Amino acid sequence: MKNLCEIQTGETVKVENLSAKDLLKERLLALGLTKGAFVEVMRKGPANNLTVYKIRGAMIALRNEEASLIDVSLN
C-alpha cells in the first residue's frame, strides 16, 4: 500500500485508509476521500508540494503532508 503523495501524475488509485485525525480527517471526508473512493492525480505543483487530485468529479489541491496521511492501492 502507498500514500497518495507517492502516486504519479495520470494514475488513478483507490482510497483504503485515512490516518488523519480530528479536523483534518473531517475535512478530507467532506471532500469525498472515503474508503473505496477513486482518486486521479491531475498535476503536481512546481515545487511538488501541492498536487491537484480529481475526486468524485471535483478538483482538489492537497499538500504532501496531507496526502501522506491517505493510504491508497493501485487499480
Residue 27: give the domain boundaries.
Answer: 2-74
Per-chain mean pLDDT for the chain:
94
For residue 49, how many other CB atoms are within 10 A of its CB?
12
Dihedral sign computed on CA atoms, order 38, 40, 44, 48: positive
The number of domains in the chain is 1
Residue 67 to residue 29: CA distance in whole angstroms: 13
pLDDT over threshold 90, residue 1: no
Note if the pTM is more than 0.85: yes
Q: State pLDDT tens for residues 39-72.
A: 999 999 888 789 999 999 999 999 999 999 999 9
CATH number of the domain residue 38 falls in: 2.30.30.90
Q: Is the pLDDT of residue 6 over 80?
A: yes
